[in-house]
Amino acid sequence: MNKQIFRVLIFILILISVNNYLISAEKLKVYISVDMEGIAGVVHREQSSSAGKDYNIARKWMIEETNAVIQGALDAGATEIVVNDSHGSMRNIILSELHPSAYLITGSPKPLSMMQGIDDSFDAVIFIGYHAKAGTKNGVLDHTYSGSSIYSIRINNIEMPEVGINALVAGYFDVPVVLVSGDSEVCFQAKELLSKEIEVVPVKEGIGRYAAKCLPLNKAFKLLREKTKLALKKRSKIKPFKLDPPYTFELEFNFSYQADYPELIPGVKRKNGRTVYFVIKDYIEGFKLMRALIALARSQ
Ligand SMILES: [Zn+2]
């Protein structure tokens, strides 16, 4: 073999190995937003409030469900996993107990709240521990962003659970929500609203607002792991959730006084005693304004 041919052969071998490396290193970036009311075992504020006497055991279950989903994402070949703590103070997940493969976004307030950290570099979004929208029969701890102030939130005339409001944030960045877990009611609402193609894991069935029949934990963890892998594998079949702009946000508060301050913001109009609305072209700007209005409503 002369030197010239030898050099060409070496060059081809290098090309093949680089190509193989690139194939094996296909990017799969997964975003996980974790709420608490939809975690198996959680049915009361004594568990979901950081001041509650059963809070520490509930946050342990929350971390364990999160770790099961992280394991499922790794099974599917995830190359980067970001977990956003999305409940209450957003300081529920203990970093030292979280699976060491995941990054953790913790604390609040955050500009994008339950969706902080999402951008167009992600390939899929997963919601776990989620709950049904305010006013859902048998929805365990049902509410929409604020139990104390929100009666309902409508976007372009569709009454939204947090699943929908947050999926639209992911949709803004062209990222699909591929799996939702929580009680059976939120799983039903997610399938109805987002897509029949998404995977759901109902870890408990509501018997009322404060009661549920729960899966055994080992079964819940197994299902979460398996369905996460399945959902990520079929992610290309699931479309990001989007609505056509402009966006009309309508916030109906529990009490009329809660609309008094929100009405003062430029562009926000009063519809009736307890309802305000605004129209906006950019969904993320609308999402942020919605949250500011809720904070104002809660400030009195
Ligand atoms: Zn929550």
pLDDT value of position 275: 98
Pairing of strands 211-214, 177-183: unpaired
Compute, in angstroms, the gap from residue 2 CA to the centroid of ligand 1. 70
Q: Which two tokens stand for residue 171?
A: 């949709």
pLDDT in tens, 27-38: 999 999 999 999
pLDDT value of position 23: 47
* Domain boundaries of the chain, sorted by first residue: 26-237, 247-298
Compute, in angstroms, the gap from residue 36 CA to the centroid of ligand 1. 5
pLDDT value of position 25: 62
Per the residue annotation, which of 44, 99, 131, 143 is the catalytic one?
143
pLDDT in tens, 149-196: 999 999 999 999 999 999 999 999 999 999 999 999 999 999 999 999
- Fold of the CATH domain 26-237: Rossmann fold (3.40.50)
pLDDT tier at 300 (50, 70, 90 boundaries)?
confident
Compute, in angstroms, the gap from residue 141 CA to the centroid of ligand 1. 9
pLDDT value of position 2: 65
Q: Which two tokens stand for residue 291?
A: 């949250």
pLDDT tier at 141 (50, 70, 90 boundaries)?
very high
Q: Which two tokens stand for residue 159?
A: 């009454």
Instruction: Decide yes or no: CATH 3.40.640.10 for domain 247-298.
Output: no
Q: What gap in Å lies between CA 145 and CA 31, rounded to an integer?
A: 20
pLDDT in tens, 11-59: 665 555 555 554 456 899 999 999 999 999 999 999 999 999 999 999 9
To the query of whether residue 143 is one of the catalytic residues in this protein, the response is yes
Compute, in angstroms, the gap from residue 1 CA to the centroid of ligand 1. 70
Pairing of strands 158-159, 102-105: unpaired
* pTM listed for this prediction: 0.91
* Main-chain dihedrals φ then ψ at residue 12, nearest 5 degrees: -65, -45
Compute, in angstroms, the gap from residue 198 CA to the centroid of ligand 1. 22
Mean pLDDT value across residues 206-224: 97
Mean pLDDT value across residues 56-78: 98
Compute, in angstroms, the gap from residue 3 CA to the centroid of ligand 1. 68
Q: What gap in Å lies between CA 94 and CA 116, rounded to an integer?
A: 18
Phi-psi region of 101 (alpha: psi -120 to 50; beta: other; left: phi over 0): alpha
Residue 102, pLDDT > 50, answer yes
Mean pLDDT value across residues 220-240: 98
Q: What gap in Å lies between CA 273 and CA 130, rounded to an integer?
A: 30
Q: What gap in Å lies between CA 101 and CA 120, rounded to an integer?
A: 21
Using alpha carbons only, what angle is made at residue 153 by residues 228 and 82, rounded to the nearest 5 degrees?
Answer: 30
Q: What gap in Å lies between CA 294 and CA 148, rounded to an integer?
A: 10
pLDDT tier at 286 (50, 70, 90 boundaries)?
very high
Compute, in angstroms, the gap from residue 51 CA to the centroid of ligand 1. 14
pLDDT value of position 17: 59
Q: Which amino acid is at 241?
A: F
